Amino acid sequence: MNEKLPKVLKLKSKKQIESLFKNGKSLKAYPLLLIYCTEDLDTSFKVGFSVSKRFFKQAVQRNRIKRLTREVFRKKKHIFTLDETQFLLMFIYLGKELPSYEHLEKAFHKIENKWQKTLSNYEA
């Protein structure tokens, strides 16, 4: 199975990001928040990652958190692939302290469980 996260899967379009925050629904598992919505795309999903500048003033810290979150997502991205539905996804880190990889993995596992319940609505 290919576990790469190529450029085509990254959410960069300003219109899509605005649409996501305007029409999106959310799932929360502290310290991660997932905002998602459906949209017609050429790929199964597009994903973005965000960390608040309010709590992490240094870009080095923000970039590290985003890198860790991307890595956790990359390992589990197959759960966000659905045949007929395309999603825009945005992961937002809500914590106030630097997380460890294991801490993010646990939070992601909780989001994964909630996501499976949400997917049943789209498949039915």
pLDDT of residue 124: 56
Is residue 44 within 8 A of residue 78, CB to CB? The reply is no
16: amino acid identity, one letter: Q
pLDDT of residue 69: 97
pLDDT one-digit tens code per residue, 11-47: 999 999 999 999 999 999 999 999 999 999 888 899 9
Question: How is the chain split into domains, by residue range?
Answer: 10-123
Give, in words, the CATH class of 10-123: alpha beta
Q: Cα 91 vs. chain centroid, distance in angstroms?
A: 3
> Which of 54-58, 64-68, 80-84, 85-89 has the least mean pLDDT?
80-84
pLDDT one-digit tens code per residue, 82-104: 778 899 999 999 999 999 999 99
- Inter-CA distances, 46 with 49, 80, 84, Å: 11, 10, 15
pLDDT of residue 123: 65
pLDDT of residue 1: 60
Q: Is pLDDT of 105 > 60?
A: yes
3-state secondary structure 24-67: CEEEEECCEEEEEEECCCCCCEEEEEEECCCCCCCHHHHHHHHH
% of residues, the chain, pLDDT over 90 = 75
pLDDT of residue 78: 87
Average pLDDT over residues 74-80: 89
